[in-house]
Amino acid sequence: MIKLGPFESKNQAGDGSGFRPLFRMGWGPGAEEIYDAVRQGVEWETDDRKRELFWRSPEKTVRVATNVAAGCLSRTVNRDHMEWSHQFVARGDETLLTGVREHMEEEKLEFSELCREIIRRVRREDGSMLRRDVLRSFQNNLTYGQEVKRALDYLLESEQHLTRYLRQIRG
């Protein structure tokens, strides 16, 4: 007779490869739809930083939901497990985003790169962005805030081929 230690189980693989689960947990009613919605929300995110930081949120939601379901002795991950887990993960993601915005210094941009980035951000906002919003969007990027003002003035005064986008930020 084999005596089991405190961390051994009868369902360990005999080949030494480790633990073999008793069953594979599957999707319950409505759970996969929540996963798809979370994944789609991340994929459609327009803020580059958020998309990068939240890219693994769908996977994290499933991992947490699987633990919740197991704790409920369920053999499936159900909609309520996914909804609770998504709220939990979303709170953590927002805390991460807040910390990154407050404490991470962004890469400093050279003048030509700064001009291109301004044009990209205005285009991303459907071609219309207030001057103050452009300035605020760069608040952590530059050592000297005057550089953004100088780049805006340059882009407007040089009347480049993107004037139609940049006229919106004069005020």
DSSP letter, residue 167: G
Q: Is 12 helix (H, G, I), strand (E, B) or coil?
A: strand
Greater model confidence, 137 or 34: 34
Say if 9 falls within a structural domain.
no
Burial class (CB in 10 A: 0-12, 13-18, 19+), 39: middle
For 31-81, the pLDDT digits (tens) are 999 999 999 999 999 988 899 999 999 999 999 999 999 999 999 999 999
What are the angstrom distances between the C-alpha of 121 and each of 12, 49, 115, 137? 55, 13, 10, 9
Q: How many domains does the chain have?
A: 2
Question: E-strand spans in the chain?
Answer: 26-27, 76-77
**The pLDDT value given to residue 65:** 96
Residue 17 in this model has a pLDDT that exceeds 90: no
Q: The tokens of 21 are what?
A: 């689960």
| 71 and 34 co-located in one domain | yes
State the Cα angle at 92 between 91 and 94, rounded to 5°.
65
| 138 and 75 co-located in one domain | no
**The pLDDT value given to residue 27:** 93
The span from the CA of 92 to the CA of 34, in Å, is 18
Greater model confidence, 126 or 77: 77
Highest mean pLDDT among 3-12, 116-125, 155-164: 116-125
Greater model confidence, 80 or 167: 80
Residue 148 in this model has a pLDDT that exceeds 90: no
Q: Which of residues 58, 77, 103 is at a domain's end? A: 103
The whole domain housing 116 covers 111-169
